[in-house]
Chain A
């Protein structure tokens, strides 16, 4: 028997703070499409039920359009059960008032269980009230294969959005299907069971980088789990040190080398670091233009100026005087000095005239 464990789909997420409007719009569509594709995958692979471990919606009160999309998808696939546990984003109000036979829900009062042959899937929605007490309520038949659904970070303390893994030791859990952390991650509960975060289906911003997808559970006499990368696009966060580049050409070559092998349809966030000579007037937009074949690239120039005051000790020009004067001014911290020198040099060289 097969199950899919996924979480943190965040339907209705705006994405507008991260991307330009047209990219945000397309990514929103891809987010909905990913959910649809996952259901198709489930149909094609004889998946009995999809375990949604929280944050299906981005908001407590999802819009009607998002709700309709989600519930219609469930109703169109009656052969698959959807076990939907509310998370911290959709903690209330996201269930439909309509009675959908294949939509199985949970509550905050006690564990709710659903049986599939020898497999029992149990879950409870964590709240401020039950976040410490729910551990004691969990009672499982150890003769059966037990899957438990929770939404919270795996940690050593108790609280809202937290799951203290040590409290679940010896409970007879075979697989703990967690939500809340947006990257795939696993760990051991005890000798018998493991916990896993499926991560989200699609990365929504540069804080959700790397492969995204869901976990496929194959249940025989044990529960075998496999992470299935499923995102339409992967988001990459790269820090590229360009120290030592003598000119813009070398900076470009360093960046090209680092992004080589990354799929053009992916999204890139590049932070340029290191120290560059004042003569190299590096602009992040130039690098974005250089990588324009990629779907989306954002470049942040965090490079600092490679200024050695000693070099200007004997410089009798205005620039030398300016750099010496600024460097010697104790009114500024180092960061400030570098900013003043960078801008001053640009102005003196006439490069900031139109900027």
Chain B
């Protein structure tokens, strides 16, 4: 079998790569990262496919070699096997195997003769075996060169993992058998224990059955005792109810007796309530009528008054006469008032005071004028005096004396300037801008000018020599004028003081005098007129007085005040009419009341005779008795109802016969039985809890037995497995090991020739080499020699396993431990060995390149 060519469409880092293989050694010496391992993986993938991607697994080949640049993942390989040319074309999906495709061509035709896994058909090995047998890498060599050769030889043959050997499988099986035997032993013990528990629990279950009987009996006894107590308690309660009923019946009887006594206290029976209430009403009416009779009688004083008025007036004046008299009285009143006014106007305090000033004589107009002239003269003099300086000042420096008017000038200018400014502002506010500005400007100019003048003046005054104090002197003009004025004053005051006025300020005195004089003159004129009017009115009053007296005197009304007389007359007239009506009404009422009283008394007599009541009977007492009768009747009704209700609600039909039972004893007995039942019940519950484990135990027993059977079965199975594995091992040995040893010896000869080391394998596969005439253990070999030795084993195996169709051997840089001399020799050896097989040799360093 040999590879012809391959085409990598996309696999790992390779894309669209073609390579042709040759017979013998195909050497690939490239730097690390070239993709040598990828090529090896590609070849494996073509024959065996790729494992499915698993999220929880390690980074496997499908994930590892999924093309970097995506694209179709796969390629094809051409090879020759048994003289036929095949082509395998495969594509792989990213994760699952389900979308993978594979086509196998025999020549140009599709074929299925290589099955689903062409590698198995072509090499007779599954993928794992292929990796072990046909792919050699550094690890394989290293391991084979450090571990037991004999063991490794078996491993290659038996196609198991590097850490596996038949001995360890045997050990594992033995350990598992022991484990099973231990488990079986433990299970047997457990089963015995569980069986014992089951026996105990079954015994307990039987006891529980008996306990159930006891419990039922105890419950019956408890129920019986409880019933006995309950019945006795019920009987006792019923008797108690009968006693209660008796009490209620006795209360009824007592009430009936009271009713009877009440009725018997009346000869003709208890009077009718309505009639009694009527009689009570009649009696009360009589009392009310009698009181009304007394009340409606006319008082004696009214009668006396009636009589007096009637006698005094005999006949009352007409209304017209009364009205006339009223008018006359009004007229008289007015006249009297006028007289009084006139009388009071003639005299008065003010008049007396004035008369006192002027001695009761009028003041002439000449007198008044004369005093007025005096006043005028005085006023003129006083005025002049006030305008005259009392003092005069004499200054030595005339300049300074003249400066005074200048300061006034500054002030005037300042005022004008300010007025102009204010006016200007006012006009501006009023909206007349031009005028306002002119006024303001003028004011401002004037203000500055004034200020300038003032400052100039000041400067001059500062520059002037110091002033002398002015000299003060009395003004002679003033002194003279003052003397005249005082003389005029004295004259005026004296003229007025003549009329008994106290001296004071001339103005005050003058005006007081003038007013009083004028007023007194007016009062004197008025007094004369009033005196005449008063006399006339007085005469008229006398006439009216006489008229009215003649009207009132015939009725005995002699009061000087006729108004009072008129009121008395009117009052008497009204009172007389009222009294007259009252006296007549009173008489008619009395007659009616007397009639009613008579009738009522007759009804009372009839009631008395109906119920044989003596005169001392009291309707209230009878009504109280009736009320009591009603109350007792109602009470009796309720008592009877209550008794009947009690009887029916308690179903008291027949009075039970009272038996002597002790309730306490019965209750104690029931309690005791209940306690016994409860205790038994608790015990049963406890036993039930315990017995409830029986099912579990039985289940456990069954499960443990099943488990034991499983263990036994596993033990048997392990025995069978062991037997079959050992049998297979023996078959393999029989079939392969002897030829392997022969082949190894053949290759050992080559080693001896190439490396100068004589290596042999005895019948127990122990590998030894000769040194200094002695066979020594392979462990003494150098690493490089061991690697070559391991290669020989691999070749020996392959020679035996593949007698006809020798597969290619893939060597992935296995000789890293060899020096250059050994590499040269080894490469010669490989040349020799590759004469009848194809070898794909990969290395990453020139030093290991095959020559």
Contact = CB atoms under 8 A, between A and B. Distances in A.
Interface of A: 14, 16-17, 61, 63-65, 93, 97, 246-249, 311, 314-322, 324-326, 329, 332, 336, 339-340, 343-344, 347-350, 352-353, 355
Given A63-B688, A322-B728, A340 B717 contact: yes
A64 B161 contact: no
B692 A317 contact: no
B124 A315 contact: yes
Contacts of B124: 314-316
A63 B208 CA distance: 10
B22 to A, nearest CB: 27
B120 A348 contact: no
A113 to B, nearest CB: 28
Given A61-B212, A322-B724, A340-B721, A352 B172 contact: yes
B725 interface: yes
Interface in B677-705: 681, 684-685, 688, 692, 695-696, 699, 702
A352 B219 contact: no
Given A97-B220, A317-B158, A322-B725, A16 B685 contact: no
Nearest to A314: B124
A61 B728 contact: no
B209 interface: yes
Contacts of B161: 349-350
Given A63-B692, A318-B158, A348-B169, A97 B216 contact: yes
26 contacts: A14-B699, A17-B695, A61-B208, A63-B688, A63-B692, A64-B681, A64-B685, A246-B97, A246-B98, A248-B54, A249-B52, A317-B158, A318-B166, A318-B728, A318-B729, A319-B126, A319-B159, A321-B728, A321-B729, A322-B725, A325-B727, A326-B724, A340-B721, A348-B725, A350-B163, A352-B172
B268 interface: no
B142 interface: no
Contacts of B695: 14, 16-17
A344 B724 CA distance: 8
Contacts of B158: 317-318
A195 to B, nearest CB: 32
A65 B689 CA distance: 10
Interface string B89-132: 00000000110000000000000000000001100111001000
A249 B721 CA distance: 29
Nearest to A15: B695
Nearest to B797: A316
B337 interface: no
Nearest to B161: A350
Given A16-B696, A64-B688, A325-B727, A318 B52 contact: no
Nearest to A97: B219
A347 B685 contact: no
B184 interface: no
B160 A318 contact: yes
A315 B692 contact: no
B223 interface: yes
Nearest to A353: B172
Sort A-B residue pairs by CB-CB distance and give the 5 closest, nearest first: A317-B159, A318-B158, A321-B728, A322-B728, A314-B124
Contact of A97 (B209, B223, B688): B223
B696 A325 contact: no
Interface string B730-741: 011000100000
A14 B126 CA distance: 52
B163 A64 contact: no
A336 B725 contact: no
Contacts of B52: 246-247, 249
Taking residues whose C-beta sits less than 8 angstroms from the other chain, chain B's interface range is: 35 or more
B54 A321 contact: no
Interface of B: 52, 54, 97-98, 120-121, 124-126, 129, 157-161, 163-164, 166, 169, 172-173, 176, 208-209, 212, 216, 219-220, 223, 681, 684-685, 688, 692, 695-696, 699, 702, 717-718, 720-721, 724-725, 727-729, 731-732, 736, 801
Contacts of B702: 17
Contact of A316 (B125, B176, B219, B692): B125
A112 to B, nearest CB: 23
Contacts of A332: 720
A226 B681 CA distance: 41
A329 B723 CA distance: 11
Given A317-B126, A339-B717, A349-B160, 15 more contacts: A61-B209, A63-B685, A247-B97, A311-B120, A315-B125, A316-B736, A317-B158, A318-B157, A318-B728, A321-B729, A322-B728, A329-B724, A340-B721, A344-B721, A347-B172
Nearest to A344: B721
A112 B731 CA distance: 80
B54 A318 contact: no
Greatest chain A CB density within 10 A among B124, B157, B729 is at B124
Contacts of B684: 64
A87 B124 CA distance: 67
Greatest chain A CB density within 10 A among B160, B681, B684, B736 is at B160
Contacts of A97: 216, 219-220, 223
A18 to B, nearest CB: 9
Given A14-B696, A97-B216, A315 B120 contact: yes
Given A93-B212, A317-B125, A317-B129, A65 B223 contact: no
B431 to A, nearest CB: 98
Contacts of A344: 721, 724-725
Contact of B688 (A65, A318, A326, A352): A65
Contacts of A246: 52, 97-98
Contacts of B732: 318, 321
A258 to B, nearest CB: 19
A241 to B, nearest CB: 18
Nearest to A66: B688
Contacts of B164: 348, 350
A222 to B, nearest CB: 44
A20 to B, nearest CB: 12
B491 to A, nearest CB: 138
A85 B161 CA distance: 69
Contacts of A348: 160, 164, 169, 725
A249 B53 CA distance: 9
Contact of B725 (A63, A317, A347): A347
Contacts of A317: 125-126, 129, 158-160
Contacts of B166: 318
Contact of A321 (B688, B721, B731): B731
Nearest to B169: A347
Contacts of A63: 685, 688, 692
Contacts of A329: 724
A347 B692 contact: no
Contacts of A314: 120-121, 124
A336 to B, nearest CB: 7
Contact of A347 (B121, B173, B681): B173
A103 to B, nearest CB: 17
B121 to A, nearest CB: 8
Nearest to B699: A17
A170 B451 CA distance: 150
Contacts of A61: 208-209, 212
B76 to A, nearest CB: 23
A203 B54 CA distance: 38
A142 B717 CA distance: 68
A61 B176 CA distance: 47
A247 B57 CA distance: 12
A347 to B, nearest CB: 6
